[in-house]
Structure 1
Amino acid sequence: MTLIRTIWFYLLLIPATVIFCLIAIIGGGVFKSRAVCKWVERNWSAFSLWVAGVRVDADLSALPEKAPVVFIANHQSDFDTFLLFAVLSRFPLIFVAKKSLFRIPLLGPAMLAAGHVPINRENSREAMKAMNVAAERTTEGFCPVVFPEGTRQRDLTRLGEFKTGGAILAIKTGSPIAPLVMYGPGLALPAGRFMLGKSRRVTVRALPPIEPGAYTLKQRDQLSNDLHDMMSAVYNDLASKHTGDA
């Protein structure tokens, strides 16, 4: 059954991705329409989760009502972006994503057209420039999404080590930090694998926002560590309550 679902998933996802990317490139890149990009993000993510058979249980009651907000989320799977576009559809999101994604034909130009920010984490100077771009977008009302682990985690027993880029971004902008913890996407589509997993139930929980004004740039490591500690506690709780197959 999993094999059939996987074949079905890719047979529909690939042509749909081509269509959605072309719409984003034309709408966002040519006509500079954020509304078109927002439509693409919302519908592409909803379609992708539906085709994969992913069930989402999201508790977002702790989120603030207004943007801008800096979202800090753990990273398990290629599904993470779809999940966040779906559950955070009322926010104007921009992802700070690894530079290699922007080299993918159609997908890369579509991401640039939608205003997402490439980051080269191997070069600290370039990484800081990317964070400055994201900070500028925040002043325009956008909500950056940062995966502080930097890459998808294969070990689902714990959160990976957090890099400080998200903490620096939040401190620079002065925007509230909204930590988001996800459990399940790494089981639905494990990192480094093409085959869907048997478990496709995903849980997303928003933690109470943190005001970064309590931290200075010199305390970015402390902020990053505090985020890791509070998100780890929630992650472990979600893992213990995971119900398995959707």
Structure 2
Amino acid sequence: MSRTSQRSVFRLLAAVVIPVYRSLAVPRWSGQENFPAEGGFVVVSNHVTEIDPITVAYSVYKAGIMPRFLAKESLFRVPVVGTVLKRTGQVPVYRGSTRAKDSLVAARAELDSGGAIIVYPEGTITRDPHMWPMRGRTGAARLALETGVPVVPMAHWGDQEILYRDPQGHRTFSAWPPKRVTGTIGAPLHPEDLVPGGLARPGHPSPEELAHATEVLMAAVTRLTGELRGETPPSEPFDPRRDAAQGPGATTADAASAEAADTADDGASPAEARRASDAAPGSAPVADPGAPLGNAGGSVAP
């Protein structure tokens, strides 16, 4: 598939979705010129509400590029939703299974054809109490560094005024009046920007290189979010895994085990995951994640 393939399907879908979206939101985007004119690329964005995949897809579609997400495989089995995802070329993520490599193959094919893959590096809607981007997972960085394509950071703000979910999971919806939604697209980050000096083994990023690259791209997303909000971001990103491990009664082993599980979730090799697990005193072995891509985030639902 190319970045313009299945345009007719998207046009049909957009004819239904965009008028509804525009009845709820007044989107204003800047920086569309930062989308590469040719060649594949990865898009990374903050994730604040269930409807912001439409906000993000809207900006990509308006630039003439068919938006494609890495989406949870379970969504492809939902009636109607699954059909739409398949017909529009979305990429299923088979988390923690022997088919996880299929996600990487499909994503690479899209990038090789000059298309764009949209990934939410946080993996889910932010749990930061103030809705700042959380610590990112390494899937987006892995995809970019293994394929050599640039990463385009973007941020949006305002659609949480339409649909908001508080930290306790309670949702509020406001359909009227339409809410102002602002978004900005940053300059592309090339592999040498993510890992200064380049990878020690081209095409094979190490866990340390993936961690550094993820910090760089999340810092870019957070900076753009701060510009939209007119506020200074926190000095350290919220980390739900760390905070959960350090809750009442938690131990150092709990924290290390959580980090080991995170390593597996982010697509580390089985050996890397086992090494991280072994470093946790008294921790149980981490299950084989089954693929290089693993949990790359990017689901179209939390």
Q: Under TM normalisation by the shorter chain, which class is it? A: 0.7 to 0.9
| Separation in structure 2 between the aligned mates of residue 211 and residue 175 of structure 1, nearest angstrom | 7
Amino acid at match of 1:58: W
Q: What do you get for the CA RMSD once the two structures are aligned?
A: 2.4
Amino acid at match of 2:143: L
- The question of 1:189 aligning with 2:163 is answered yes
Give 1:100's match in structure 2, choosing from 74, 79, 84: 74
Give 1:57's match in structure 2, choosing from 9, 28, 38: 28
Structure 1: unaligned runs, 5 residues or longer? 1-32, 242-246
Amino acid at match of 1:116: Q
Amino acid at match of 1:168: R
Gap change, CA 1:124 and 1:164, over 3 Å in 2 = farther
Gap change, CA 1:128 and 1:194, over 3 Å in 2 = farther
C-alpha displacement at 1:125, in angstroms? 5.8
Give 1:172's match in structure 2, choosing from 142, 146, 153: 146
| Separation in structure 2 between the aligned mates of residue 41 and residue 220 of structure 1, nearest angstrom | 36
| Separation in structure 2 between the aligned mates of residue 231 and residue 104 of structure 1, nearest angstrom | 31
C-alpha displacement at 1:41, in angstroms? 4.2
Question: What SS class does the counterpart of residue 134 from structure 2 fall into?
Answer: coil
**Residue identity (%):** 24
Deviations 1:148-202 (A, max 9, x none): 1111225343111211111111112211111111112222212452623777211
Q: Which moved more, 1:125-134 or 1:87-96?
A: 125-134
Give 2:8's match in structure 1, choosing from 12, 27, 36: 36
Q: How many residues are matched?
A: 207
- The TM-score, its normalising length taken from structure 2, stands at 0.62
- Who is 1:229 aligned against? 219
Taking the TM superposition and a 5 Å limit, the aligned residue runs for 1:56-205 are 56-60=27-31, 61-89=33-61, 90-121=64-95, 123=96, 126-155=99-128, 156-191=130-165, 193=171, 195-196=173-174, 200-205=179-184
C-alpha displacement at 1:126, in angstroms? 4.8
| Separation in structure 1 between the aligned mates of residue 182 and residue 97 of structure 2, nearest angstrom | 33
Gap change, CA 1:41 and 1:223, over 3 Å in 2 = farther
Q: Which is greater in Rg?
A: 2
- Who is 1:30 aligned against? none
Gap change, CA 1:227 and 1:34, over 3 Å in 2 = same
C-alpha displacement at 1:213, in angstroms? 4.4
Structure 1 segments (4+ residues) deviating >6 Å:
none
Question: What SS class does the counterpart of residue 181 from structure 2 fall into?
Answer: strand
C-alpha displacement at 1:129, in angstroms? 3.6
Q: Which moved more, 1:54-63 or 1:160-169?
A: 54-63
Native 8 Å contact 1:131 1:165 kept in 2: no
| Separation in structure 2 between the aligned mates of residue 222 and residue 44 of structure 1, nearest angstrom | 41
- The TM-score, its normalising length taken from structure 1, stands at 0.75
C-alpha displacement at 1:112, in angstroms? 1.2
Native 8 Å contact 2:7 2:66 kept in 1: no
Question: What SS class does the counterpart of residue 173 from structure 2 fall into?
Answer: coil
C-alpha displacement at 1:239, in angstroms? 1.8
- Structure with bigger helix share is 1
- Who is 2:297 aligned against? none
